[in-house]
Chain A
Amino acid sequence: MKNWLVLLLSLMAALVLFFFLTIFYQQTVPNHIKLDQPIQFVMKSSEVVPMEFWGIAERGIQEAAKEYGVTVELSGPRFEKEIDQQIIILEEVIEQRPPLIVLVAADYVRLVDSVKKAESYGIPVVTFDSGIDSSIPVSFIATDNIAAGEKAGREMLRLLEGRERQKIAIVSHIREAATAIDREKGVRQAIDATQIIGTWYCDVEEDKAYEITLGLLDDPTLGGIVALNEVASLGAARAVADRQLQDTIQVVAFDNAVRELTFLEAGVIDATVVQRPYNMGYMAVKIAVDYLSGKPVPEFHDTGSVLITRENMFQREYQELLYPFRNSP
């Protein structure tokens, strides 16, 4: 036998050996997807200070990224209202040809074109928290905002039971965002339309919400305010507290900023519907990884919401949800 044949045979044997070891390895260890590039997250606001929500969502994202062995990159405009800025960022991200884009749409309609472009490049898009008006995204991970709004509406009805003032006002944060639209829809599903005197928009500005609420409080029939996000809730609560009307006006809020919780303890805010941003971020990564691994993913994943009142706010199971651990090393 020629030496080169021995070499060939040995190489073949070694390859077979490697193959065998690989089989062994595959049996031992579940396969993780390997990505050359990070999964791109396009958020809607990179400023954590006004909206703690996104900080927690990011922790969920990072935790899942660590667990699933993928890298993620986060980008986005500083403020939620900078929709043009988000479109530019999304376009830039598409040019990087990432394996997948997770989008938190700042606008329900205006980002559709960019998402179509991503689709034409074969980049799958997953939306979370706020979706877009398109069927392109492979999955949408969010709180079922209609259900959450309904929860808030029902709680408001419960709070107003037996009270004199029965009219309800809705303070929403932004006109065109899907979250605002769905939550309002949910509230209106729970409450009879005649009971609702209207919806006001604060454009994600606390002071504006404060001014709106002060105006509303002049109405002697108003018994309750449903504020549809953190900023609107804080503005409304501040106004009610300033007017010392916490016993007269029932406030059902959304989200769980520290100041909201103080208002909740003080009885200004009577209930707040809390989302699970941590789970949302975590599930966004999990579903993205599942999709990239070829596993089936749900079209919509509801991360759920919890109604927090003064009574249950210090229950063990809600503590971390309401008072997240500070980011620690």
Chain B
Amino acid sequence: MKGLFRIGTLGSRIYTVFIVFIFGTIFIMQIVSFQFTVTTVRNSMIASNRTLLSQLTRQIDSYIEDMENLSLAIIEESGSQDVLRSEYAVSLNDHRALIQEQIGRYLKARDDILNIYFTDLSGTIFSADAAVQINPWSDVTESPWFVSALENPDRTIISGSYVQNLIVGEYSWVTSLSRGILSSDTEEPLGVLLVDLKFDSIQELCQSMVTGRRGYNFILDENGDYVYHPTQQLVYSGVKDEPVQQLLEIAQQDEQNMFTDGQHYYFVNTSSMTGWHVVSVLFRDDMITDWTYVQITYAAIGLILFLIVGLATNRITRGITSPVKRLQGIMKSVDTGDFHLVGQIDATDEIRELAHDYDIMVTRIRELMVENVKEQELKRKSDLKALQAQINPHFLYNTLDSIIWMGEMRQHKEVVLMTSALSKLMRISISKGRELISVRDEIDHVRSYLTIEEMRYRNKYDSHIDIDPGIGDEHILKITLQPLVENAIYHGIKEVDHKGLIEITGRREAKVLIFTVSDNGRGMSPETVEKLNTLREEPDDEADRASGQGMGVRNVHARIRLYFGESYGLHCESTPGVGTTITVRIPSSEAIR
């Protein structure tokens, strides 16, 4: 898991992309749809509020219309014209009972009518309800309903709401309909009919048809004066303020009958019957009452989406990274030199193919490695053979040369001796193709060689061989000592005037066999010794090979190391004018075992 969050890993990239982009997308989506929900709800609220408002207006209209029809009917039926036309003083008493009975029917039938009055032109009031006492201080001739009704005798005058004070001790809120009563003959006005409607009906309508907890309706007349407002006192005392001017302006337009000041939505509908502007106020925060619920719902949907995406991301990422990681783990074995196969893994096709190709590669590498080992072995053997082969012609040529020379001198005895020594030498050299021979045989080989060389360089040197008899059965690489002796003769003793001495020793030290070949010849400069000791490591150095110096020595060294390993080989010590000692170290049979 830790690894997944390292920048640059496959997992971290996938997670980054998924979380940033998909979570971001969900986020934006949720916010946008939340916004959309809000807008939708708001719009539908606005629409329903509009409907409600026009319904309210229609109801008010139809209510007023009803009342207008009623007032017309009253004028027709009640015989009020007759009453008013005749001498008032007479008719009042004659007809009072009759008219009161007739109009009283309407009063009883309609709860919402407070009272019905007649007045004559002088302002004398005649109430339909006989029981009430007319307020002596009220003056109807100045009342707007009276004046307007007489000015417009063919129309029903609808007043706004006001307090009616026509009856003593009673102050009721009314909306009144007034109509001039015309003489049926002369069309002259005779008086005014006043129908007082309890304002409660309209108030109730306005209060019942509201949207939201705090929404309310109010009514303005054509001039922008309040007909009804649920909190009139606040409005009149300036605590509350309604945008009356704006409302009147938008009431003129047909389409756009709504405006908002941010917190409130105002809807206006103008009643054709009364000319009133019915205003509905909707509070913005009433539109969705349970905001927290909506928020929680959206957050919960978000959570579910986040979870689905998150878990899916997990699955996908694991599907990609875990086989890759497994693959990676297996491939890591290459570091340590092991080549493991991946084999069958549970992963996508791509990964499986990758694993398959990797397996093919590893198999191939394994084959190549095996081949390589074989080739190395082969090469080593052929190198060894080649090195051994290098000895023979050189020496053979010299020896045969000597034999020929002795033959010509008719020294038959020497020829026989030399030839038999050579024959022995050859036999050991070949030794049935084995590479290892016994120390005893190797010493015989050196002796044969010394025999030959002594005959060639008569009295030039003495040789002394001191081999621990206990190591006679140990094995040594064949032709190990002879080239060293050869080197001592050709590069040591041959160059000095005094009689030379070649000493050959052999002993066992711990698990190592140590042989030395020393001479008292010319010796070598420290540079040459140094060169010989270091160059031994690189037996194929061309420059050195050309000089011929130490070529045999290096051959031996190379062969020992090829055969026994790097920790064995030769070491050369020499003092110019004193002599040279070359030490050979090879493992004893105990060490090999």
Contact mask for chain B residues 209-228; partner A; CB cutoff 8 A; 1 contact, 0 none: 00001100000000001100
Q: Which residues of B contact A276 (CB under 8 A)?
A: 233, 237
Q: Which of A124-132, A192-200, A233-241, A319-327 is found at the contact surface with chain B? A: A319-327
Asked if B306 contacts A30 (CB within 8 A), the reply is no
Task: For the complex, give the distance between the alpha carbons of A14 and B295 in Å.
Answer: 11
Closest to A26 in B: B291
Q: Is A158 an interface residue (CB 8 A)?
A: no
Interface residues of A in 209-240 (CB under 8 A from B): none
Q: Is A13 an interface residue (CB 8 A)?
A: yes
**Size of B's binding interface in residues, CB under 8 A:** 61
Binding site for A on B (CB under 8 A): 1, 4, 11, 15, 19, 23, 26-27, 30-31, 34-35, 38, 135, 137-138, 160, 162-163, 165, 168-169, 171-173, 199-200, 203-204, 207-208, 213-214, 225-226, 230-234, 236-237, 239, 263, 284-285, 291, 295-296, 298-300, 302-303, 306-307, 310-311, 313-314, 317
Asked if B298 contacts A21 (CB within 8 A), the reply is yes
List 9 A-B pairs, minimum CB-CB distance, nearest first: A10-B306, A6-B310, A14-B303, A18-B299, A29-B285, A320-B232, A278-B233, A17-B302, A323-B171
Asked if B171 contacts A21 (CB within 8 A), the reply is no
Nearest-neighbour CB distance to chain A for B44, whole angstroms, equals: 16
Known: A9-B306, A63-B231. Contact between A21 and B137, CB under 8 A?
no
Q: Which residues of A contact B15 (CB under 8 A)?
A: 1
Asked if B34 contacts A21 (CB within 8 A), the reply is yes
Asked if A322 contacts B4 (CB within 8 A), the reply is no
Closest to B295 in A: A21
Asked if B213 contacts A69 (CB within 8 A), the reply is yes
Asked if A325 contacts B298 (CB within 8 A), the reply is no
Asked if A24 contacts B135 (CB within 8 A), the reply is no
Contact mask for chain A residues 1-31; partner B; CB cutoff 8 A; 1 contact, 0 none: 1110011011101111110111011001110
Q: Is A328 an interface residue (CB 8 A)?
A: yes
Asked if A28 contacts B314 (CB within 8 A), the reply is no
Task: For the complex, give the distance between the alpha carbons of A322 and B239 in Å.
Answer: 17
Query: B306 is contacted by which of A14, A282, A318, A320 (Cβ under 8 Å)?
Result: A14
Query: A24 is contacted by which of B11, B34, B200, B207 (Cβ under 8 Å)?
Result: B34
Asked if A279 contacts B171 (CB within 8 A), the reply is no
B-side interface mostly? helix
**Interchain Cβ contacts under 8 Å between A and B, 23 examples:** A1-B314, A3-B311, A10-B310, A14-B299, A15-B299, A17-B30, A17-B31, A17-B298, A17-B299, A17-B303, A20-B27, A21-B31, A21-B299, A24-B35, A28-B284, A60-B233, A261-B171, A265-B135, A265-B137, A282-B239, A316-B160, A323-B173, A329-B207
Asked if B307 contacts A10 (CB within 8 A), the reply is yes
Contact mask for chain A residues 260-296; partner B; CB cutoff 8 A; 1 contact, 0 none: 0110011100000000101100110000000000000
Closest to B239 in A: A279
Task: For the complex, give the distance between the alpha carbons of A105 and B233 in Å.
Answer: 24
Closest to B229 in A: A320
Nearest-neighbour CB distance to chain B for A310, whole angstroms, equals: 8
Task: For the complex, give the distance between the alpha carbons of A276 and B233 in Å.
Answer: 8
Q: Which residues of B contact A13 (CB under 8 A)?
A: 23, 26-27, 302-303, 306
Q: What 9 new A-B contacts, CB under 8 Å, besides A7-B310, A14-B299?
A: A1-B11, A6-B311, A9-B306, A13-B27, A30-B285, A66-B214, A282-B234, A316-B162, A325-B232
Q: Which residues of B contact A323 (CB under 8 A)?
A: 163, 171-173
Interface residues of A in 29-52 (CB under 8 A from B): 29-30, 32
Contact mask for chain A residues 58-73; partner B; CB cutoff 8 A; 1 contact, 0 none: 0010010011010000
Nearest-neighbour CB distance to chain B for A65, whole angstroms, equals: 11
Task: For the complex, give the distance between the alpha carbons of A60 and B285 in Å.
Answer: 22
Q: Which residues of A contact B200 (CB under 8 A)?
A: 326, 328
Q: Which residues of A contact B137 (CB under 8 A)?
A: 265-267
Closest to B206 in A: A328
Q: Which residues of B contact A17 (CB under 8 A)?
A: 27, 30-31, 298-299, 302-303
Asked if B307 contacts A29 (CB within 8 A), the reply is no
Q: Is A304 an interface residue (CB 8 A)?
A: yes
Asked if A66 contacts B213 (CB within 8 A), the reply is yes
Query: A319 is contacted by which of B23, B38, B163, B302 (Cβ under 8 Å)?
Result: B163
Query: A9 is contacted by which of B19, B162, B296 (Cβ under 8 Å)?
Result: B19
Asked if A28 contacts B38 (CB within 8 A), the reply is yes
Asked if A1 contacts B4 (CB within 8 A), the reply is yes
Q: Which residues of A contact B11 (CB under 8 A)?
A: 1
